[in-house]
Structure 1
């Protein structure tokens, strides 16, 4: 099978997911091509045929060129299936006559629906109408979680759909012993305080502003809030003038996030919306329990199903509950250890690349049947 992945997103969890999909697909003997902007990190998979996509979201004047590049890539590569990642790839790739996908099976993965990306009601209505229309030009829908499928159904998306989960390398993300944990803490300059980790790019979606404001009002005792991720920290610093630099520590982007995960006691997820945050699976695979807002995908990742939970889920937006549950776990080493063990087992049972790409291959086959 020849798969063409198309993504305009060049950061965060989408990059990790695309990389893990491609690595497992190559292992299975699939042929894999990739169309992305140059800013997409090098996947370091030599067998992948990569094409540069000149696309900037904020430059509509460049859209015709981006559409032409997509069309020419499909004609040259002649894939068996086109896998579109996120809103802009989903937009260009589901203009079938213009994009060249009319005779090629199309699989769309939103990584958060386009109407969730905006707060303006008029834009939300327009995006909702577009997603409903574009779904009729989509042969299969794949999502990171069942919540995302349900959200699509609510607006009239009837495309055959499959929830994949998060493919995670459980050999790369694994628990460490106390000595290694302490070594990572020393290398990060962390003292013996308990450490609450918030990992993700600094953006409204990720909710660090909500968390930092709540922390400024009621910091947890003997605890360091560690913020990790790319972005401008200045707006957050202004929200916490007394705690920033003392109990709140921002260390910027990290090429390898494992040391900060291993150095932490609990991962906190204050996001406004997600579709299964990769960091949740990374933390649980590493034996670090999670306290998370109930946003799309979190229940599926942390608590749902027969596997024991790997953490605690609280109502979305309730920072008081988020910090209270974080404190409960931080104050109870035995509970943390139990949730850490269960979280690791949960990820191994649900989210290995082999299991997730099994589901993805089934979606590809369904898309190809839809085209026949």
Structure 2
């Protein structure tokens, strides 16, 4: 499959962000395919200051010096080119400040290091095995493909419901405690002597921790103890969640914690360019130490072929189990008892931060449609009360083929959340052949960019009930349009591949982290070496 056949351009101009001043931009682009990534000769990990996954040319020399003007992390940013393939890099350019110049070292990795097996320690909180969230599939596929590539992997996560191993990767459960404001989220510091000794015996080449959280502090401490590079991947936009769950004045302290963590990291991975821009604007990371964790979706598990009339009836039913027993015994056509109505579905964690209450006002204006909520969470009971007496179904958690059928059996997928760092459920819905109507917020515009609106899905203004209703009604009343957009959405997601995304992290982004780590060590040890040479000079050789 040619993964570079289509491209997308995502505008991150400062007019969209109050913290970023207006400046001119300079561009640098790269192209990629499933088998190789190529760039212009000057392309490197840091030749573009915010190269979210930009690839390096394959050279034997380990270091190249590139002269460029110094730059501000808060300069105007714009994503100028991005292949929409799963293995694509994304190049963000920034306006260059005038004045002084500085030397920047660009890491050019030895091609042999790409295939050399690594020892990778993953610290993931909460567990990608027991806790259902958007990153569950991301980390499970990541571990799977790292193992297939021959890497040794050890996973440290919260202790409840974890397997002893996963695709041959050893899993260590760390005793956890519930998050004070979100009781279903387990947290753990993971700094027990048992875990420290396990990781020390493992001798990792690199530590990769999910952030923000509590466990990332333990991962950072162990990385410093063992003197190994640490990569942090940012998955939950906690500053957006805080006002929904607790006091708004805690937002700034949370940003201070995020800045402390990610400034200490050797590399930060983000799931979308929009989140990367937020981290840079907040000063949480240096622009040239930010990379994009490319999108991926399992297009076999999420597929239109799973569409099921039985599941569709289940998602539309308001009858009790005795009714279905009667239908089964007498072999009746269940659909004849239920008038056909367009079916809107939402899949995901049911939390207050997901803005699901907006859908009550939306569905009030769409009496001709039904809605099904697939998922569970702390806000479910309140949401069920809110939708009492309405044509709404709450299925609870579905997994495996049932989940695949639920996606494929709907007519339209709706996502009102404004806090998604990417929105993997949107990708899964698109892969299932559903047109999507989602809020234009967070990482979702990375999935449905402006030039694709109306082709692979629709975006509405966050919190705007009328805008959401208008776009839903367009799809609910026009089956042909639904099918055209659903087919285009499916074709778009076929370009995204977890294997390619994992390969990029393993071969390029981990390599960049190791390079930055070595550079930090040299900066720390350089003055010490200079002082030692001054205090203890080597006597000149005496010629006989």
Q: What TM-score, normalized by structure 2, do the two folds share?
A: 0.62
Q: Residues of 2 paired with 1:231 and 1:222: CA distance?
A: 27
Compute the displacement of 1:330 (Å).
1.3
Compute the displacement of 1:57 (Å).
4.3
Partner of 1:248: 392
CA contact (8 A) 1:93 1:101 kept: no
- 1:355 and 2:500 equivalent? yes
- 1:314 and 2:460 equivalent? yes
Deviations 1:11-42 (A, max 9, x none): 21122211011111112122121111233554
CA contact (8 A) 1:165 1:276 kept: no
Compute the displacement of 1:129 (Å).
1.4
Partner of 1:7: 124
Name which of 408, 421, 439 aligns with 1:275.
Answer: 421
- After TM superposition, list the pairs within 5 Å mapping 1:10-25 onto structure 2: 10-25=131-146
| Pair 1:212–1:47, CA change in 2 (3 A) | same
| Pair 1:128–1:281, CA change in 2 (3 A) | same
Name which of 179, 198, 204 aligns with 2:352.
Answer: 204
Deviations 1:232-251 (A, max 9, x none): 532113323431xxx11111
Partner of 2:341: 193
Name which of 143, 168, 174 aligns with 2:270.
Answer: 143
Q: Residues of 2 paired with 1:274 and 1:181: CA distance?
A: 29
Partner of 1:75: 200
Q: Residues of 1 paired with 2:270 and 2:491: CA distance?
A: 22
Give SS of 1:18's match: helix
Name which of 115, 118, 124 aligns with 2:251.
Answer: 124
Partner of 1:112: 236
If each structure's helix is expressed as a fraction of its own residues, which one has the higher value? 1
Give SS of 2:494's match: helix
Name which of 227, 230, 250 aligns with 2:376.
Answer: 230
Partner of 2:152: 31
| Pair 1:26–1:303, CA change in 2 (3 A) | same
Compute the displacement of 1:326 (Å).
1.2
Compute the displacement of 1:102 (Å).
5.8
**How well do the aligned residues superpose, as a CA RMSD in angstroms?**
2.6
Deviations 1:166-222 (A, max 9, x none): 321112212228xx432432454554211100111110122212212443xx24132
If each structure's strand is expressed as a fraction of its own residues, which one has the higher value? 2
Q: Residues of 2 paired with 1:325 and 1:83: CA distance?
A: 40
Compute the displacement of 1:307 (Å).
10
Q: Residues of 2 paired with 1:307 and 1:165: CA distance?
A: 21
- 1:175 and 2:304 equivalent? yes
CA contact (8 A) 2:384 2:394 kept: no
Compute the displacement of 1:291 (Å).
0.5
Partner of 2:88: none
Deviations 1:85-140 (A, max 9, x none): 132256414643x6655611111112123323311332111111122222221011
The higher relative CO (CA closer than 8 Å, separation ≥ 6) is in: 1
Give SS of 2:177's match: coil
Q: What TM-score, normalized by structure 1, do the two folds share?
A: 0.88
- 1:166 and 2:295 equivalent? yes
CA contact (8 A) 1:308 1:343 kept: no
Give SS of 1:264's match: coil
CA contact (8 A) 1:90 1:110 kept: no
Compute the displacement of 1:354 (Å).
2.1
Q: Residues of 2 paired with 1:99 and 1:307: CA distance?
A: 43
| Pair 1:304–1:354, CA change in 2 (3 A) | farther
Q: Residues of 2 paired with 1:31 and 1:309: CA distance?
A: 42
Structure 1 unaligned residues grouped into runs of 5+: none
